[in-house]
Structure 1
Amino acid sequence: MEISALFIGQILSLSLCELNTVLALDRSGYGLKQRSGLTEKRTCPGVSTKDSSVKCKLQGTGRLPAFSMDGDYVVGGVFSIHYYMHTVKHNYTTVPEPLRCTGSIDSRELRFSRAMVFAIEEINNNTELLPGIKLGYQIHDSCASVPVTVHAAFQLLNGIDPVFYTGDNCSQSGIVMAVVGESGSTPSISMSRVIGSFNIPQVSHYATCACLSDKRQYPSFFRTIPSDQFQAEALAKLVKHFGWTWIGAVRSDSDYGNNGMASFLDAAQKEGICVEYSESFYRTHPRSRIQRVADVIRRSTAMVVVAFAASGDMRILLEELSREPSPPRQWIGSEAWVTDTDMLRFSFCAGAIGFGIEKSVIPGLREFLLDLSPTKVAASPVLTEFWEDAFNCRLEKSTAIDKSLCDGTEDIQTLHTQYTDTSQLRITNMVYKAVYAIAHAIHNAVCQDTNSTTQCDRFIRLESKQVISQLKKVNFSRNGYYVSFDANGDPVARYELVNWQKSASGRIEVVTVGHYDASLPVGQEFRINRNLTLVEGRTQVPVSVCTDSCPPGTRKVLQKGKPICCYDCLQCPEGEISNATDSPFCFPCPKEFWSNEERDTCLSKPVEFLSFDEVLGMILAAFSVGGACLAIVTAAVFFCHRTSPIVRANNSELSFLLLFSLTLCFLCSLTFIGAPSEWSCMLRHTAFGITFVLCISCVLGKTIVVLMAFKATLPGSNVMKWFGPPQQRMTVVSFTFIQVLICTIWLVVSPPFPMKNLTLYKERIILECALGSAVGFWAVLGYIGLLAVFCFVLAVLARKLPDNFNEAKLITFSMLIFCAVWITFIPAYVSSPGKFTVAVEIFAILASSFGLILCIFAPKCFIILFQPEKNTKKHLMYKNQS
């Protein structure tokens, strides 16, 4: 237990006594002395005193700040000036060595720290902001690691003096009133948990994790850079803008990467974007882990890769990708790396797009950064290391022995590093604004405006809580840049859309091509105002989808077990359409419309009926007219030979009436052809029923006459006087009147009417005549059938009468044909679809009519015209011997 406690204490460079001292000082509202010549007389808790002051000694090994300066109020700073922390293997038997940084200096972070120094010196020379008050600073190097960051946080709370005194008379001198930093989200979280416990405000210039907006966990945290929540939403809208729905995602395995990617994936899901893979990595991971992530990118089908990673982590991944050529990828980057000019050396990422903090201009900063002489450099170990690395030489007092001595000709203005590059001041301006925000908060707390002059009291006992309160109210503008914080300690989110483009010289440059302003109304935040260069220098937007878009006429069907962006395109079924790309549904057409072959438009269904324009209609119309002409010609022949024995012997009056009715039967079939209308529907069925009953009545009358004629030849028979011409006419009229009565009732109760049959065929409309009352229709047919059967029975009875020319035989054949036609008509009528129902009905009418005229009148006309020798009374009166 003692070894473990010692180990933990050495990592944090803090002992229990040290922490108690800090807590006691925080409760009293006083700080620790840091300026020479001033002593503090305050009783150290838990320590017996012999005099008025007690000497306290910090335990653990302290680390000197990278840059420091005394002042009335001290502003702390923590930056990741080095890339790595030296890793030590502990044996738990000896005191661990102090934490120290390794690796090369991050010249960009060095510029951030120097920008903080520049801002404080500029404020100290300002007669309007904090007049008469001098700000000091303590800037520490966190080595981009959490342990060193926490160590620096405790050291900012305690001070840098190894021995200090407590007492009653305390000065505000040297108190760290606020801290600028850290550059990463994870170290910032760790530092905020430490200094937040003592109500020390922290203003970060580069920690963008959305989690830091939670004021319940981080009540003293502020930042001048927008939260990643806004950047994640902007990146999702950017990906959606180019139509990319199938992407890969890589992230830093840190609070910044994990929280940022989580926000992006949530926003991407709302935009309908799918992720093929999501991989995490960290720069300290084994190379095998980095190789696995690189292989996933190489093997993926997604053309677009969204990288939410820190600059240091992304550098490691891109170096691994550069070892083996990979298929071209469109990179979408977060602000942390896409605006880092050191990353531009990876030429295979040309065309990368991302969001960056707005560029800025800080007057005088470049001159300050370049104002370095060997004397100034030698006074700072950090600047010494930077100088020696930049010029590959060593200064006189340096301990490096592997380099030659600097000869004094080194000129920093000839360097081309991120330290000297002030053309893309983005995060540097965030540092600048953070320092000014703290200065304004202190100014508002210790200064008062009186009669156009500002009076500041540097001896006011200012508590850190007051600085937090004033930071919440900060509202100022500097160099044209507005600074304020919302309730979460966040600024207004504004970004530039940047694009990696090749210049005329062939170098890759970061070019601003658009803007994103979260304060604008929805739909207006994002705009592009310049042409972009995409992957491989192309201007054409690459396609990155799991499945090509489903064209109109198809619908999306998700593939089982895959994201929603992976689907199959199935053609819409008949009668349904989709008129939009990637439609998830097919929509049925209205009742009187049908889908085209492409299934993308509803067309009016073709209306189908038996018309005179089609072949079938022409043929049936021709037979109908031909049959009527045949009946008329037959009537003409009979009329011309009306005095001949064969005409007179077969009841010429009924024959002419029968021919007239047959003519009507032939012609009534024409009413079935053409588009149905109200009058044609009523006419076709009633005319058909009445004319056929008239026809059958005449045949029935002729049959009865034949039977009566033979009865009359028997001795003593006087039958013919009861069935003479008046009775024959009355019989025809009576039978026909009954049919007229049935048709009248049908038309009055429920007449036939035209209708559009939409159920028989889905793809077309059948225009037909509805029966109205089915009972009426079948009553008409039934009555015709009843008369036909009765006539057929009588004809059968008379078929063997001993006459040389027995008309009953002809009537028997005609009725046989008639009944056969109409018996077969019933099933054919019921089963025939659409216009063929009408064709079957017309065929039955024509077939039965032709059967009657041919069976009854054709033999007679043949004798009249071609065998006149048989057209004699003697021949007709001759009786068969059999």
Structure 2
Amino acid sequence: MSIHVLSWLTLSVPVLLLWPVCGSGTEVTPLETCVYLITPQYSDELGTYQDGDVIIGGLINLHNLAATPDLSFTRKPGLAQCLEFQERTYRWFQAIVFTVEEINQHPSLLPGVKLGYHIMDSCSRYPHSLTAAMSMISGGNKTCGPTKPAKLLIGDSSSTQSILLSTTLVPLKIPMISYLAGCPCLSDRQKYPNFFRTIPSDFYQARTMVQIAKRFGWTWIGAVIADSDNGHGTLQALEEEIKGTGICLAFYHTLYRERLQKDVAFAARTVQASSARVILVLAWYTDVEAFLLELMRRNVTDRLFLASEIWSTSYNIMANPQLYTISKGTLGVALRSAPIPGFSAHLQQLHPSRYPEDKFLRTLWENTFGCSPTISSSKIIQNSLPPCSGRESLEGHIEFIDTSHLTVSYNIYLAVYAAAHALHSLLECNSQNHTDSKIKPKCSSPDNITPAQLLQHVKDVQYTTQLGEEFYFLEGGIPPVYDLVNWQIAPDGSLQYAFIGHVDGNQLSINDSAITWPGDSGKVPISVCTSECPPGTRKAIKKGLPVCCFDCLPCTEGEISNSTGSIKCYRCPKEFWSNSYKNECVARETEFLSVKETMGITLMSVAVSGAVMTTTVAVIFLYHRNTPIVKANNSELSFLLLLSLKLCFLCALVFVGQPSLWSCRIQQAAFGISFVLCISCILVKTFVVLIAFHSTRPESSALIKWFGLGKQRGIVLVFTCVQVVICAIWLCVSPPLPYQNFGMHRSKVILECTIGSVVGFTCVLGYIGFLATVCFLLAFFARKLPDNFNEAKYITFSMLIFCAVWVAFVPAYVSSPGKYSVVVEVFAILASSFGLLFCIFVPKCYIILLKPENNTKKFLMGKE
């Protein structure tokens, strides 16, 4: 129950003060009566008082539950009866008794001063705790006799009760030292200046839990906590600690003792349905036992539990055989344990006959031995149990008297010693702190000290413990030191905890090999919302879900992630690309029109074949050079045309292979010059044809004389030189260069030649196109000249093919990716070259080789 809900209790402090109003004398007589402000039936009866010079109060939750209060409002309300006696906490009760007795026998600590104690049951509930505290600090007791008020309180165990008590006692400046209240909120020295504790703040416990989860890769954790300030405070500290660590809370549920069965059932259903395999449990050990039993009933046995210090060493849970299966492998954070010399002997000699006023001991006896102890030979406590024989002893009660690993009892031991050292400092004479002999000693008296004085000395207390360690308060608590435990099946089949590590400050030390994990596999449990993304993928957070729940998206082309759980993919360097698994950058595959691939070999074979065919035609023409068909229309131009065609075929070879500085410059220049030479020869031949067939006109004779062989050679040379000049300017100003194209094919780098200057390339192609167009037009006009072998007709067909090829080349070249643009250009060169070769020379070769009878002047002139 939150402290805010209980604020009405703070306002009612005056009503809860239990000062008895007695007669005028100091002693109670039969004629006098005591009047209590509230009925004393609970607070004064359920407590133990031992007189002394200074009284220390103690609050122990000896019972775990209070009965349901009577809400009928038909009678005056009172505190509900306490239920469920706890054997474990009775040992805490005796730790106060033992420590006070030990201090009283100490030769140098508080010499001449006897400590007393007043210990009461807080019943694990705030009304009982507050009422008991008011009783102790006011000096009320059941006899209404003169008793001394407590100057300091040891307790309470619960953070909620401690918050309430500290807030209530701040105006009275009464110091309190808790032995188990771990709520991080209590470290606020402004709000709780009178609160101290011999336990680290649960902030450090939460941090330890997070460190353990990170160590074993648990990112999806459920939490079951007590519905109290301690539970909520620790959960808040845990949520702060997991920020930025990749750990998420799958769920959390609270357990409230008054509705325990309902809360336990709901929490168990959630655990059963959740994918979280690691459950953090922060609750009182009896509540945890009920929760585990419910999980067993549901057959949920494959979870690992992270236990808080409240139950990580609980013999009660470990002694229950029903819980062996489900709780085996539990990892717990335990308070640092230590022995208390002589405490075991003190517990063994406890007997109701020696402490007849100790009602709690009587209850322990009844629960342990099942009999009712006798107070004297003539008096038997009225009880339904049979009377005890008197020979019963706690020596055989191993769990109760085993003091080898004390935790809370040791914290109480430290707290009482801290109070004693503070009293010792307060009662010490002032002259011991001064060297001036003129200053008279000023010694405080136990009867005159006030809680406010004691509070100042508690703040500065510092002493050496029995283990040789320096004890002091750090922000009201002690430095974080924990043991780490693991629940394991012992050789005798019982469940026991083993120490597997420790925490000292921020240092976590765990012996992984000593851990027993749940189940039979012996492997570390996996508790994740989504398994870590493998290399080659990245995390993509799902909207509306915790960061631990994500999708694993594959990296895009050219990106990699080479680690598990990567949150992003990384771009490969420019010269590299991602492999098929997207987990490594590999060198990009280079691509160009290679002489070793099928495409390159095919084009080279076609180019060489074209060159061979051209050479063959030249040989045929050379052999039949004196025949009319060869001599017709200038045989010299025919041989020059065959030479230029051969160069066109051979220049295609320059485009095949890995681009280099020289190949990039030569290929375009060779292509442009060769084709201009070829078209120039055809253009001149077309002129010759036109002039020859118009030579019968009187005005044509002068033109024929002017357009002689020299002029024909000159025109071819001039047309060719124009292209040479264009290419020279292009190569000088902005020549084609080898280039690595990374953007065309993602996994490949395309080795290609840049155009360099678009203007230069356009001029080269434009000039070839201009000559081809002129030649086509002239040949078209001469296509119907009256002869049996009209060469203009074949030139027209050749130019038509040539122009069609290069008109189609432009869009195909622009749209072709990578090396295929080179293939398109080579194909255009070869196609146009073959078109010229076949259209112009194949008909002549046909007559020369197959129709030699037609190779006469009369036949060619159409006169036969």
Q: TM-score, normalised by structure 1?
A: 0.89
User: CA contact under 8 A between 1:14 and 1:60: conserved in structure 2?
Assistant: no
Report the counterpart of residue 349 of structure 1 in structure 2: 327
Distance, in Å, in 2 between the alignment partners of 1:285 and 1:460 is 47
Report the counterpart of residue 637 of structure 2 in structure 1: 654
Which amino acid in 2 is paired with 1:465? A
Report the counterpart of residue 340 of structure 1 in structure 2: 314
Report the counterpart of residue 672 of structure 2 in structure 1: 689
Distance, in Å, in 1 between the alignment partners of 2:196 and 2:268 is 36
Match status 1:728 vs 2:732: no
- The offset of 1:829, in angstroms, is 1.8
Report the counterpart of residue 149 of structure 1 in structure 2: 129
Which amino acid in 2 is paired with 1:609? F
Q: 1:459 to 1:325 in 2, by over 3 A?
A: closer
Which amino acid in 2 is paired with 1:693? V
- The offset of 1:480, in angstroms, is 1.1
Which amino acid in 2 is paired with 1:177? K
- The offset of 1:374, in angstroms, is 4.5
Summarize deviations over 1:282-318 as a string: whole Å, max 9, x none.
2221533332222222232221111111223223323
Give 3-state SS (helix, strand or coil) of 2:479's partner.
coil
User: CA contact under 8 A between 2:17 and 2:134: conserved in structure 1?
Assistant: no
User: CA contact under 8 A between 2:380 and 2:387: conserved in structure 1?
Assistant: no
- The offset of 1:263, in angstroms, is 1.6
Match status 1:94 vs 2:72: no
Return 642-651 or 504-513, whichever deviates more: 642-651
Report the counterpart of residue 564 of structure 1 in structure 2: 547
- Pick aligned residue for 1:792 from 765, 776, 787: 776
Match status 1:498 vs 2:485: yes
Give 3-state SS (helix, strand or coil) of 2:200's partner.
coil
Summarize deviations over 1:713-745 as a string: whole Å, max 9, x none.
445734321111111111111111111111122
Matches within 5 A, 1:4-153: 15=15, 58-62=36-40, 63-64=44-45, 66-97=47-78, 100-103=81-84, 105-153=85-133
Distance, in Å, in 1 between the alignment partners of 2:355 and 2:349 is 10
User: CA contact under 8 A between 1:594 and 1:604: conserved in structure 2?
Assistant: yes
- The offset of 1:165, in angstroms, is 10
Match status 1:477 vs 2:464: yes
Which amino acid in 2 is paired with 1:380? D
- Pick aligned residue for 2:820 from 803, 812, 836: 836
User: CA contact under 8 A between 1:283 and 1:312: conserved in structure 2?
Assistant: no
Report the counterpart of residue 804 of structure 1 in structure 2: 788
Report the counterpart of residue 863 of structure 1 in structure 2: 847
Distance, in Å, in 2 between the alignment partners of 1:536 and 1:818 is 83
Distance, in Å, in 1 between the alignment partners of 2:170 and 2:380 is 38
- The offset of 1:408, in angstroms, is 2.2
Match status 1:362 vs 2:349: no
Report the counterpart of residue 170 of structure 2 in structure 1: 196
User: CA contact under 8 A between 1:635 and 1:659: conserved in structure 2?
Assistant: yes
Summarize deviations over 1:651-694 as a string: whole Å, max 9, x none.
12111111111111111111111122222111111111111111
Match status 1:240 vs 2:227: no
Matches within 5 A, 1:625-704: 625-704=608-687
Report the counterpart of residue 245 of structure 2 in structure 1: 271
Match status 1:777 vs 2:758: no
Match status 1:510 vs 2:510: no
Give 3-state SS (helix, strand or coil) of 1:260's partner.
helix
Report the counterpart of residue 721 of structure 2 in structure 1: 737
Matches within 5 A, 1:404-423: 404-417=386-399, 419-423=400-404
Distance, in Å, in 1 between the alignment partners of 2:820 and 2:69 is 97
- The offset of 1:107, in angstroms, is 1.4
Give 3-state SS (helix, strand or coil) of 1:542's partner.
coil
Distance, in Å, in 1 between the alignment partners of 2:298 and 2:433 is 70
Give 3-state SS (helix, strand or coil) of 1:248's partner.
strand
Q: 1:481 to 1:402 in 2, by over 3 A?
A: farther
Q: 1:878 to 1:213 in 2, by over 3 A?
A: closer
User: CA contact under 8 A between 1:433 and 1:483: conserved in structure 2?
Assistant: no
Report the counterpart of residue 224 of structure 2 in structure 1: 250
Summarize deviations over 1:460-513 as a string: whole Å, max 9, x none.
732222222212222222121535444521100111111101111111111110
User: CA contact under 8 A between 2:278 and 2:527: conserved in structure 1?
Assistant: yes
Which amino acid in 1 is paired with 2:646? T
Which amino acid in 2 is paired with 1:569? C
Which amino acid in 2 is paired with 1:546? C
Summarize deviations over 1:221-245 as a string: whole Å, max 9, x none.
0000111111011112212222112
Q: 1:175 to 1:272 in 2, by over 3 A?
A: same
Distance, in Å, in 2 between the alignment partners of 1:811 and 1:15 is 127
Matches within 5 A, 1:698-717: 698-714=681-697, 717=701
Which amino acid in 1 is paired with 2:182? T
Q: 1:385 to 1:232 in 2, by over 3 A?
A: same
Report the counterpart of residue 438 of structure 2 in structure 1: none
Which amino acid in 2 is paired with 1:72? D
- The offset of 1:748, in angstroms, is 2.2
**Identical residues among aligned pairs (%):** 44
Report the counterpart of residue 607 of structure 1 in structure 2: 590
Distance, in Å, in 2 between the alignment partners of 1:626 and 1:783 is 28
Report the counterpart of residue 293 of structure 2 in structure 1: 319
Distance, in Å, in 2 between the alignment partners of 1:644 and 1:17 is 145
Q: 1:387 to 1:645 in 2, by over 3 A?
A: same
Give 3-state SS (helix, strand or coil) of 1:194's partner.
helix
Q: How many residues were matched structurally?
A: 832
Give 3-state SS (helix, strand or coil) of 1:279's partner.
strand
Report the counterpart of residue 468 of structure 1 in structure 2: 455
- Pick aligned residue for 1:291 from 260, 265, 269: 265
Distance, in Å, in 2 between the alignment partners of 1:589 and 1:226 is 50
**Structure 1 gap segments, 5+ residues each:** 1-7, 22-31, 40-53, 167-172
**Structure 2 gap segments, 5+ residues each:** 1-7, 435-440
User: CA contact under 8 A between 1:514 and 1:530: conserved in structure 2?
Assistant: no
Which amino acid in 2 is paired with 1:76? G
Distance, in Å, in 1 between the alignment partners of 2:53 and 2:335 is 33
- The offset of 1:142, in angstroms, is 1.2
Q: 1:175 to 1:288 in 2, by over 3 A?
A: closer
- The offset of 1:353, in angstroms, is 0.7
Report the counterpart of residue 29 of structure 1 in structure 2: none
Distance, in Å, in 2 between the alignment partners of 1:17 and 1:555 is 65
Give 3-state SS (helix, strand or coil) of 2:838's partner.
helix
- Pick aligned residue for 2:531 from 534, 548, 551: 548
Distance, in Å, in 2 between the alignment partners of 1:808 and 1:751 is 38
Return 703-712 or 834-843, whichever deviates more: 703-712
- The offset of 1:319, in angstroms, is 3.4
Distance, in Å, in 2 between the alignment partners of 1:17 and 1:195 is 12
Which amino acid in 2 is paired with 1:334? S
Distance, in Å, in 1 between the alignment partners of 2:685 and 2:520 is 102
Distance, in Å, in 2 between the alignment partners of 1:588 and 1:823 is 41
User: CA contact under 8 A between 2:19 and 2:36: conserved in structure 1?
Assistant: no
Q: TM-score, normalised by structure 2?
A: 0.91
Q: 1:795 to 1:879 in 2, by over 3 A?
A: farther
Give 3-state SS (helix, strand or coil) of 2:253's partner.
strand
- The offset of 1:695, in angstroms, is 0.8
Which amino acid in 2 is paired with 1:502? I
Summarize deviations over 1:521-550 as a string: whole Å, max 9, x none.
xxx445446521122354201111222222
Summarize deviations over 1:399-452 as a string: whole Å, max 9, x none.
3331111112212111244x3232321111101000111111111111259699
Which amino acid in 2 is paired with 1:81? L
Return 137-146 or 765-774, whichever deviates more: 765-774
Distance, in Å, in 1 between the alignment partners of 2:488 and 2:168 is 43
Q: 1:807 to 1:15 in 2, by over 3 A?
A: closer
